[in-house]
């Protein structure tokens, strides 16, 4: 596969013929110049004429091939100019035109190669072999021979040959070529790994979950091939303009000839009109935009998809995996009054590590996120889809759904409370039994992405006029999302064919962008004007059907893709209008005899160089000078988000304490509150103080706004006030048992403090991501 793709790229880009043609023209031009200075004028004219004729034959072949395919372009003007130069004996002008044409082709080729750097780098890194365990030892085998379940050794510095799952321990992987993330990503035992990632650390073992042809990297390579071969509608726009521009050129050339009686003026007009920046700069600008997207972890299948992305006015969004995270995550824990929530979670996750069920994996992930070590287990027995039992530290444990748990417990007040508590819309409940006693339960749900609201607002600011939620979920769940996300229309309980019909209806009024990640989204992605697949964890079918694939699991990259696409389109149009305008001005000067053919050739060459260099601006960062200083680096953003993740255990403890004090003996309430008070003062308040005294002043200086983040500082004051109030209430009950009113006041305070801190963290992360640098 690697050799086939590499050959396809080399053949399509055609670097050798363009370079060879330019080299041949240089040789004829220099040889003719040498003959001229040696006094052999006849030989110099023959050499220049031969070089022009050779280029004309090559160009005529291209034009004939294009006409056979039904395409009509501006290369015809170049052919007329070279043919006219040969007929009129303007051999020097002819070879300069030939040089100009070949040089423009080579310059375009160079620009596109530079613009495609990120894409071609993927193919150059494709591995050929891998170390596979064959039963006795690891042996090097071709990656095509790797089967699902094979044990693979990934050594330091090697690329992961196929998709797999980390066998044990931890691995730090460089995924920058796939996702655009500059920082290495830490993966733990049991997590999925993408082929194409680089292992910069110690060797580790993984189990293959896909064959080479089915893996992430092979799919990306196929998408790269599609991105290389696609032709943009804007490039065809040049062909549509070609007939009109050719007519104007011929009329102006004929008028100049008839008015002056000098065929050289007509030739000069043709020379300046050749070749127009329409056929050079547009593809360069669009492919530069494709490359810019690739550096952000967004793979665009060519300039056509990029242009349509810039023109989209309606966005259709799938729910699961697009607006939501697509994975079950732990929301709440409720345990029996005398139990510690962390102990119950640790016990349940230890048992669940023996299951491959998606909910079990989510519970294990939640325990690891909270820094809990999983305990050794024995006597594991799983009823697929229902639950699992086993022993931990000599205790019999059962973990599963409510129907799986009920026969194993006796009914009491706590079990009745749990049965009501788990009936929450849009959640999954998992209960835990220890030695026949219900210990607690967990609520898990597929949460809305934290950046979803900001992304939808930014899409509207980028020109999106209508946002539609198209989902297979129930209408009540979809409406609950729309109620706070600001979605214009909701269509729920849809099947794949229904989504396709909806796309067709929306296309009747505006260009439609469909965003999804599942196999059921693939038909709608293919039917839309531009389909965008969330490819980090989405189905391969959706990535294959889509025009754009977001390789990093972040919805805000959709906004980045639109901004890049719109900027690339603006630059392409600016280049077209400026280049055509300059050519027309030069043609008028030539028609009045102010420019000779050779001078016209040099002027047009300068116009082409300026046009292509301007088109290459699409590769650059659009930030104004000084704006980059206002942004957060990816390292800074990662550090800030890591601080919040580390503090979530403290926020969870606020909730757990508010629940537990209802069940604790009154004498122990004060002790429990003292532990929470100490935890808040040791971890939460120092973090908020550091933000207020160090981080916020730094951000204000970068932004150049002394009052920026004033609202966030006000929230810090409220957090400190509530913690101080908690301390006062705790001290008030330190020497006497609290009454019901005091307990109610403490619980109300803890619920409010938890809500404020969670909202504050979410707001801060929104601000930090908005300041993230490219």
CB of 532 within 8 A of CB of 525? Answer: yes
CB of 398 within 8 A of CB of 433? Answer: yes
Residue 513 has which token pair?
A: 């962008």
DSSP string, 43-91: HHHHHHHHHHHHHHHHHHHHHHHHHHTT---THHHHHHHHHHHHHHT-H
CB of 712 within 8 A of CB of 764? Answer: yes
Cα 409 to its chain centre, rounded Å, is 48
Beta bridge partners of 438: 433
Residue 210 has which token pair?
A: 């896909």
C-beta pairs of 609-614 under 8 Å, 24+ apart in sequence: 609/107, 610/579, 610/582, 611/277, 611/280, 611/281, 611/575, 611/578, 611/579, 612/104, 612/107, 612/108, 612/111, 612/277, 612/280, 612/281, 612/284, 614/281, 614/571, 614/574, 614/575, 614/578
Q: How far is Cα 60 from Cα 66, in angstroms, rounded to an integer?
A: 10
Q: b or e along 724-753 (b: 16 or more beta carbons within 10 Å of the residue's beta carbon)?
A: eebbebbeebeeeebeeebbeebeebbeeb
Listed in sequence order, the DSSP H helices in 295-392 are: 303-311, 341-352, 358-369
For the purposes of burial, counting CB atoms within 10 Å of the CB of 86, is it exposed (0-12), middle (13-18) or buried (19 or more)?
middle
Q: What are phi and psi of 61, to 5 degrees?
A: -65, -45
Q: How many CA atoms lie within 13 A of 15 on its CB side?
A: 10
Q: At CA 532, angle to CA 191 and CA 285, rounded to 5?
A: 115
Q: b or e along 305-344 (b: 16 or more beta carbons within 10 Å of the residue's beta carbon)?
A: bbbbbbbbebbbbbbbbbbbbbbbebebbbbbeebebbeb
Cα 653 to its chain centre, rounded Å, is 35
Residue 18 has which token pair?
A: 């363009």
Tell me if residue 318 is catalytic. Answer: yes
Single out the catalytic residue among 150, 163, 318, 547.
Answer: 318
Active site residues: 318
């Amino acid at each position: 596969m690697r050799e086939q793709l590499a050959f396809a790229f080399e053949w399509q880009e055609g670097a050798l013929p363009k370079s060879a043609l330019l080299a041949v023209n240089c040789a004829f031009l220099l040889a003719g110049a040498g003959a001229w200075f040696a006094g052999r004028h006849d030989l110099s004219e023959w050499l220049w004429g031969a070089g022009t004729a050779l280029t004309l034959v090559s160009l005529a072949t291209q034009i004939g091939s294009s006409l056979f395919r039904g395409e009509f372009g501006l290369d015809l003007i170049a052919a007329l100019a070279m043919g006219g130069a040969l007929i009129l004996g303007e051999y020097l002008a002819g070879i300069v035109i030939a040089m100009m044409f070949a040089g423009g082709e080579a310059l375009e080729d160079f620009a596109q190669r530079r613009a495609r750097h990120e894409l071609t780098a993927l193919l150059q890194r494709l591995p050929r072999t891998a170390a596979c365990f064959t039963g006795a030892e690891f042996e090097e085998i071709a990656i095509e021979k790797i089967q699902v379940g094979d044990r693979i050794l990934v050594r330091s510095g090697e690329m992961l040959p196929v998709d797999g799952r980390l066998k044990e321990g931890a691995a730090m992987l460089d995924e920058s070529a796939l996702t655009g993330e500059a920082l290495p990503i830490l993966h733990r035992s049991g997590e999925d790994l993408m082929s194409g990632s680089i292992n910069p650390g110690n060797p580790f073992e993984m189990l293959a979950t896909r064959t080479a042809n089915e893996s992430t990297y092979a799919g990306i390579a196929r998408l790269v091939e599609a991105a290389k071969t696609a032709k943009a509608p804007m490039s065809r726009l040049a062909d549509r303009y070609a007939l009109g521009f050719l007519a104007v050129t011929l009329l102006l050339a004929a008028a100049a000839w008839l008015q002056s009686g000098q065929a050289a003026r007509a030739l000069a007009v043709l020379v300046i009109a050749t070749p127009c920046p329409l056929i050079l700069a547009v593809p360069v600008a669009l492919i530069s935009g494709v490359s810019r997207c690739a550096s952000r972890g967004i793979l665009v299948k060519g300039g056509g998809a990029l242009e349509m992305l810039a023109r989209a006015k309606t966005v259709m969004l799938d729910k699961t995996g697009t607006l939501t995270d697509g994975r079950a995550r732990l929301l709440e824990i409720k345990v029996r009054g005398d139990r510690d929530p962390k102990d119950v979670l640790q016990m349940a996750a230890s048992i669940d590590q023996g299951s491959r069920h998606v909910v079990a994996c989510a519970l294990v992930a939640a325990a690891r996120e909270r820094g809990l070590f999983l305990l050794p287990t024995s006597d594991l027995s799983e009823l697929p889809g229902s639950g699992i039992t086993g022993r931990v530290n000599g205790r019999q444990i059962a973990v599963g759904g409510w129907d799986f748990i009920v026969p194993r417990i006796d009914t009491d007040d706590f079990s009745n409370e749990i049965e009501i508590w788990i009936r929450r819309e849009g959640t999954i409940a998992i209960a835990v039994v220890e030695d026949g006693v219900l210990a607690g339960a967990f609520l898990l749900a597929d949460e809305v992405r934290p950046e979803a609201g900001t992304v939808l607002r930014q899409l509207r600011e980028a020109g999106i006029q209508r946002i539609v939620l198209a989902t297979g979920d129930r209408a009540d769940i979809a409406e609950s999302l729309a109620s706070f996300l600001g979605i214009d229309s909701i269509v729920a309980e849809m099947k794949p064919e229904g989504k396709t019909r909806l796309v067709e209806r929306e296309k009747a009024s505006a260009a439609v962008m469909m965003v999804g990640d599942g196999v059921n989204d693939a038909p709608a992605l293919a039917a839309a004007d531009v389909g965008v697949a969330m490819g980090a964890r989405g189905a391969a079918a959706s990535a294959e059907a889509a025009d754009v694939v977001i390789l990093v699991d972040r919805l805000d990259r959709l906004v980045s893709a639109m901004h890049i696409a719109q900027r690339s389109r603006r630059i392409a149009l600016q280049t077209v209008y400026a280049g055509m305008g300059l050519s027309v001005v030069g043609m008028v000067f030539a028609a009045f005899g102010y420019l000779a053919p050779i001078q016209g050739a040099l002027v047009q060459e300068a116009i082409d160089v300026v046009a292509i260099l301007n088109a290459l601006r699409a590769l650059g960062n659009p930030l104004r000078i000084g704006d980059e200083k206002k942004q957060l680096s990816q390292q800074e953003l990662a550090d800030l988000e890591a601080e919040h993740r580390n503090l979530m255990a403290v926020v969870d403890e606020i909730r757990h304490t508010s629940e537990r004090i209802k069940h604790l003996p009154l004498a122990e309430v004060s002790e429990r509150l003292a532990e929470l008070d100490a935890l808040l003062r040791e971890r939460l308040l120092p973090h908020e103080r550091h933000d207020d005294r160090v981080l916020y002043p730094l951000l204000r200086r970068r932004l150049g706004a002394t009052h920026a983040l004033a609202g966030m500082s006000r929230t810090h004051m409220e957090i400190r006030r509530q913690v101080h109030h908690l301390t006062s209430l705790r001290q008030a009950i330190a020497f006497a048992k609290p009454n019901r009113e005091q307990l109610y006041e403490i619980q109300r305070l803890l619920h409010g403090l938890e809500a404020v801190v969670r909202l504050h963290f979410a707001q801060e992360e929104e601000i930090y991501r908005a300041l993230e640098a490219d």
